[in-house]
Amino acid sequence: MKFINEVSYFDVIVIDDVTGKPVTGLSITYVIVDLSDNSTLTSGTLTEVSGHYKCSYTFTVADKKYRLSCTTPAGYEDYEEVFEVVDKDSFKTSVSGLALETSVQGVLTLLNSNSYGLSALKDLIDLIDTSTELQAKFTEIKGVGWSSETMKAIKDAIDNITVTGGVADWTSDQKLIILNGIKVAKSIYRIFNPVYSKIKGQDCMTSATKKYYDNTADCNSDVNGLVYSVTATYDGNARMATYKEVPV
């Protein structure tokens, strides 16, 4: 698209099919034609600037289509471009009006949307509990027999709970259960002696020995490990069906 009463510039590049680079040193003629009556407005030879072949022209009549035709030497493809010439002020007014109309229509579409428009906003507001509904929910949460207790009072009561007998009074088995649970929770482990079965061409681990450790140093040295026996089964497509870890 070009505008009337201002210089329109044309730039043509001829690319070498082998090197992919612009071809220089060519003599390229051009002609600009009014397509309404095929009359010639101007013609001549394009001016080469660093591999770009250029010309310019000032159009004085708007709302018409024109054609630039360039003739290259033998062995190169000719170039042709059809374009319209318009009045810039009229074009700006038209585009602005179209943009405004599109924007207003877009806003109306959003407002009318059931997913995120006014209807959706109404549904969201309807979901908000009223004070009466909130009170009923709190009563349900507090349960029968609740009087003046608060969350702070419950916290203080828990903090003040005393245990008869400390860690020193635990049995060795109780201590071991706690310590072993901490090891497993840390997920620091190693796999030993894995056994594989070939299913659907894949090596699937069916059993192994798994050891959990309290820290990375123990894991690297394989000391103080908690030993588990691991077994797994697979379906006909080599996908794991069951997995089991049992302390040894």
pLDDT in tens, 177-234: 776 777 677 778 899 999 999 998 999 999 999 998 888 898 899 998 889 999 999 9
Whether the predicted pLDDT of 117 surpasses 70? no
pLDDT digits (tens, 9 = 90+) for 66-112: 999 999 999 899 999 999 998 877 766 555 555 545 555 666 666 66
Cα dist from 128 to 121, 134, 142, 181, whole Å = 11, 9, 21, 44
The neighbouring-strand residues paired with 47 are: 54
pLDDT confidence of residue 70: 96
Give dist(CA 53, CA 30) in Å, integer.
10
The neighbouring-strand residues paired with 70 are: 30, 79
Whether the predicted pLDDT of 28 surpasses 70? yes
pLDDT, the chain, mean? 82
Q: Is the pTM of this model over 0.85?
A: no
CB 82 within 8 A of CB 64: no
Residue 10 in tokens: 């044309």
pLDDT confidence of residue 36: 92
pLDDT digits (tens, 9 = 90+) for 48-64: 998 999 999 999 998 89
pLDDT confidence of residue 175: 64
H-type helices in the chain, by residue range?
88-112, 118-127, 131-142, 151-159, 172-186, 216-221
pLDDT digits (tens, 9 = 90+) for 128-187: 766 677 777 777 777 777 766 677 777 777 767 665 555 555 666 666 677 677 767 777
More confident residue, 109 or 242: 242
The neighbouring-strand residues paired with 246 are: 229
Looking at the chain, the number of H-run helices and the number of E-run strands are 6, 12
H-type helices in 37-150, by residue range?
88-112, 118-127, 131-142
User: Domain 2-86 sits in which CATH superfamily?
Assistant: Immunoglobulins (2.60.40.10)
